[in-house]
Amino acid sequence: MRIMVLGSTGYLGGNIVKRMVNDGHDVYCVVRQTSDLSRLRNLPIKYIISNNDQIELTLKTNRIDWIINGVCTYNQNDRLYEDMFQSNLIFPLSVLNLAMRFGVENFITIGTGLPDDFNVYSYTKSKLSEMGRFFSKRSEISFYDLKLEMFYGGEFEPDKRFIRSTIKKLLNNEPVLLTSGKQKRDIIRVEDVLDILSGIISKKVVFTDQYNLLPVGTGENHSIREIVEFLKEQTNSSSELVFGAYQDREDGEPDTLADMKWLSEKGLRLQYGYFEGLKDAIRICK
């Protein structure tokens, strides 16, 4: 298969590219001229500069089977939102438009399990999905929205990610400053996300609809307090857990939970259970 990946230089994107290469696909990575390519070093991939002319030329001269949109911009303190509009909606929508024009059959976007109207990030992700649903009914393209829950693990995980940073602090017996921690989260290992992507692209799982909204998590949720207390116990840490050090959001934090019935119905299962994955993350951090 020939696969074009948007957002290929990020944490999740870099993992997606490596998995697609390892699965034997020809991978075309859309990158900015200023992108850090270190996560993609030494991989047999083709680079495309992220402007519509270069993407159009690639789609025109190569039969691309799948496009995976891993572009993600989440600026919590941004009040103008231009970056999120451009990255999460306008740019991938322009590529979707080109994909339909040049006969690409499949478009996957990495969405979010957060409620659609929770913030600008989740809202822009949901609007792209709505456009995918609209166009899938009016063209030959199949659109897949992977409503991804909180994820961790894999390669290239930044130290600032919540699970990894918490484990590091616990291993160093440093104080861990938190909100009340009441919100419940479904969390999933990157390795399981990659297995799901691989199964979809290899056609191990078959979908009859052209628009597919696919929750992606473990199908289990626990509060942030439970997660952190479990990590502390497993690391035998003497860290102080300071719940309430940071204020909760004024409008509240949503609980999230992915309905994973579709996965078992397709004959697939996850590698990692909820807490088994966290135990392995501790092992990796040591």
Residue 25's CATH number:
3.40.50.720
Q: Is residue 30 part of a domain?
A: yes
Neighbours of 111 (CB within 10 A): 25
Q: What is the pLDDT of residue 171?
A: 98
**CB-count exposure of residue 226 (10 Å: 0-12, 13-18, 19+):** middle
* Amino acid found at 110: I
Q: Is residue 275 part of a domain?
A: no
* Digitized pLDDT (tens) for each residue of the chain, 286 residues in all: 999 999 999 999 999 999 999 999 999 999 988 889 999 999 999 999 988 899 999 999 999 999 999 998 877 655 667 888 999 999 999 999 999 999 999 999 999 999 999 999 999 999 999 999 999 999 999 999 999 999 999 999 999 999 999 999 999 999 999 999 999 999 999 999 999 999 999 987 889 999 999 999 999 999 999 999 999 999 999 999 999 999 998 777 899 999 999 999 998 899 999 999 999 999 999 8
Q: What is the pLDDT of residue 111?
A: 97
Q: Is residue 134 part of a domain?
A: yes
Domain span including residue 72: 2-148
Q: Are 67 and 107 in contact (CB under 8 A)?
A: yes
Q: What is the pLDDT of residue 51?
A: 87
Q: Distances in Å between the alpha carbon of 75 and those of 1, 21, 83, 119?
A: 34, 30, 8, 10
Cα 137-143-147 angle, rounded to 5 deg: 125
Element at 278 (helix H, strand E): helix 274-285
Q: Is residue 153 part of a domain?
A: no
Strands 150-152 and 176-178: unpaired
How many domains, in total, are found in the chain?
1
Q: Is residue 123 part of a domain?
A: yes
Q: Is residue 185 part of a domain?
A: no
Q: Is residue 175 part of a domain?
A: no
Q: What is the pLDDT of residue 147?
A: 98
Q: Is residue 248 part of a domain?
A: no
Q: What is the pLDDT of residue 80?
A: 60
